[in-house]
Amino acid sequence: MRKLDTRTIVVASHNAGKIAEIADLIGPFGFSAKSAKDLNFVEPDETGTTFEENAAIKALASAEASGLPALSDDSGLVIDALDGAPGVYTANWAEREDGSRDFAMAMEKVERALTERGANEPSQRTCRFVSVLCLAWPDGHTEFFRGEVEGTVAWPPRGSAGFGYDPIFQPEGHERTFGEMTADEKHGWKPGDAAALSHRARAFKLFVETCMEA
């Protein structure tokens, strides 16, 4: 594993929600970071069929464009009753014809698909959020960190916090959805904490323990 020897990185994302969460996570470590969106980098086509492939595409593009290490996230909702869908196509399910994204529409699409399969009970609506972080260097070296959190698909959506599918994801062992949790409750994690809740925070915990600690 290659250690990160700088605190200057690029957050390889154009997604405002992801940028905000990653900023929250890296803030305590004294990073100087700008996002690919801030730097007006071209958003690469995510042509991979796995979270790892898509995370690498984004991180390598920003590392090459900036000459700095770049950290990307590729994440999605994996629903057992839908054979793993939407999975790597989680964002695509929210796309409208004009290219904009409507996650209320995407959540309704998920619910219709589950209803069509007769998945009405919580035990039939198991799912997990997956996050894969990729840290890429300008020389093409990459490191990957995968975090997952188990849960169930709730309906109707609850809460307006977070972003994406958060209002329908109820993590295992909790009564509230991610959409009902504060940012600190959902993805707050600091060194010394035994556990992290969200998929992104769990991936970030691995990143810190692997690349930043001696």
Please say if 74 is a catalytic residue: yes
> Is the distance from CB of 48 to CB of 54 less than 8 angstroms?
yes
Residue 83's SS3 state is coil
Reported as half-sphere exposure (CB side, CA atoms, 13 A), residue 17 has a value of: 17
Cα–Cα distances in angstroms (integers) from residue 116 to residues 56, 106, 181, 191, 202, in the given order: 35, 15, 29, 44, 33
Q: Of residues 24, 73, 74, 166, which has the active-site annotation?
A: 74
Cα torsion angle, 112, 114, 116, 118, sign:
negative
Cα–Cα distances in angstroms (integers) from residue 82 to residues 78, 91, 145, 162, 193, in the given order: 8, 16, 25, 24, 34
β strands within 53-206, DSSP E: 70-79, 126-136, 142-153, 169-171
* Residues noted as catalytic: 74
